Amino acid sequence: MADTVAALTPKTAHPSSDRLRAADLTNFLPAGVTIATADSFTQVNDSGAAGLTITDLAVNTATFLNDDGTTVAIGAGIQMNVAGGVASVTYLITVLFTLTGGAKDAVVLELRMRDA
């Protein structure tokens, strides 16, 4: 199962973790609209430390549970594998995506690396 985040809610991870993470964007999507493609991402951090390794950026093709235990519908989330990072560093990951109908959008996810 993916480690999930609600969009714009900071999450905490350990630098040695290497796992699937998912962002629930349900509350940011207009009624009847889903995410068609996860196009690209950028990352920055607050210290100039080494970056994260992010792979397999995609729209969710299966449902998952968000942090509140609510089911996230197919096409309402973004998922990616995240590894690496440096303890005590906060990373901001901006994900660009395209909605059904062609509109472009973006979300910023905050991931705080901690070693304890």
Residue range 7-56, pLDDT digits in tens: 467 888 888 888 888 899 998 898 999 999 999 999 998 888 888 999 99
How many angstroms separate the CA atoms of 58 and 55, rounded? Answer: 9
- By residue range, what is the domain housing residue 41? 3-113
Can you give the pLDDT at residue 4?
A: 45
What is the tens place of the pLDDT at every residue in 100-109? 999 999 999 9
Sign of CA dihedral 5, 93, 90, 28: negative
Number of structural domains, the chain?
Answer: 1
| Domain containing residue 30: CATH number | 2.60.40
Mean pLDDT taken over the chain: 88
Residues 109, 23: contact at Cβ < 8 Å?
Answer: yes
